[in-house]
Structure 1
Amino acid sequence: MTGFTLEGKRIVITGASAGIGRAAAQIIGGLGARVTLAARSRDALESLADEIEKAGGKAHVCVADIAKAEEVEAIVKAARSAFGGIDGVFANAGISGPIGPMQEIPLAGFDEVMNINVRSNFRLMQLVLPEMIERKA
């Protein structure tokens, strides 16, 4: 990826504490973006932020549970407060939910998956798209 940079971009990364989200944060931060790291695990986020900053990047930690609408809003507020705006989102947070024959999966389990994997990310994008579109981010 020689020559590619995200220098100066402000990126929100949900589900940043482990797996794909953590790896994405390392790469995105390494490409020069200022990253807001969001997940439920403070320790994992702080460790990741330290790693990004030791490599020369800038990271802000926001402990949040995207299953809760008010915490999705808190992520956006934290990112704007830390870096002055949002240029992009890596919407990674999600769960696999209950596994089994459809007729045996409780509706509450399905609702939880839809709330976290779809509704919360939809709301996150509703909150950030107006400023991104306005700035052609």
Structure 2
Amino acid sequence: MTEHPRLILVTGASRGIGRAAALQLARAGHMVVAVARSKTALQQLDDAIRAEGNEAILVPLDLKDAKGIETLGKVIGDQFGRLDGLIGNAGVLGTLGPLETSGRRSFEETIEVNLTANWRLIAALAPWLHQAAAPRAVFVTSSVASHPRAFWGPYQASKAGLEAMILGWADETEKMALRVNLFDPGATRTEMRATAAPGEDPMTLPTADQVAAELVKLVAAEESRTGERIRYREIAATTA
């Protein structure tokens, strides 16, 4: 990156694509606000970042904690007065299986983490994004949002809702400095993917590092697109 150091908040930063994105942003000299549930995993991320001579701000937070998200927004405002970038990466797979037998608790948690929490993040952090010179926000989606398949009901419902919400927000802010996009990583070599497709050979999939390299570009100051779905597979196909 050629831009000046930026303050970037990453949810789901303790593993998979989120962890890879946090590491890459820190490596490029940006200040990362790393948000995840696991304190232990966040500490391991911090150790990796410090090993390369960089620092991060660790925020142990369950995204079902509405008050915690509100407090996070206040702390960002009080300490920095701005937020340059937001990567809404955190998500849960929920229970895969027949929709008719989906448990209420699992269904509601999937919607809350994948959809409602991102609305809460927007409400809490948008005031500080608007204070930045070149604010950028990107949210991780999935192809099942637009191409639903059997047994993925709660997850694809949450992602379809996320897409509608984020594209609407992008339209609302089109005349502002804020650029808002969706990023579809496709099948990636992560723990979540292994759970979703246990018979799949992970070595046929791109790594979290490869996918994150494209994701972090969407919070760069030079990113000018807004209201788009950026798909990793399409990027990889054009650069192969």
Alignment TM class, shorter chain as reference = 0.7 to 0.9
1:59 aligns with 2:25: no
Match of 1:35 among 32, 37, 43: 32
Aligned to 2:213: none
5+ residue gaps, structure 2, are 136-240
Distance 1:18 1:54 in 2: 17
Q: 3-state SS of the aligned residue for 2:53?
A: coil
Aligned to 1:85: 82
- State percent identity of aligned pairs: 34
Corresponding position: 1:112 with 2:91: no
Partners of 1:37 and 1:62 within 8 A in 2: yes
- Structure 2 residue aligned with 1:100: 97
Shift of 1:82: 5.5
| Structure with greater contact order relative to length (CA < 8 Å, sep ≥ 6) | 1
Contact 1:7–1:31 (CA<8 Å) still a contact in 2? Answer: no
> What is the match of residue 124 of structure 1?
121
Bigger radius of gyration, 1 or 2? 2
Question: What code does the residue aligned with 1:69 have?
Answer: A
How has the CA–CA distance of structure 1 residues 36 and 134 changed in structure 2, closer, same or farther, with 3 Å as cutoff?
closer
Q: Is the 8 A contact 1:34 1:83 kept in 2?
A: no
Gaps of 5+ in 1: none
1:76 matched to 2:73: yes
Decide whether aligned partners of structure 1 residues 34 and 120 sit closer, same or farther in structure 2, where only a CA change above 3 A counts. same
Contact 1:17-1:41 at 8 Å conserved across structures:
yes
How much does 1:74 deviate?
A: 3.2
Q: Does 1:16 align with 2:26?
A: no
Give yes or no for contact 2:26–2:54 (8 Å, CA) kept in 1. Answer: yes
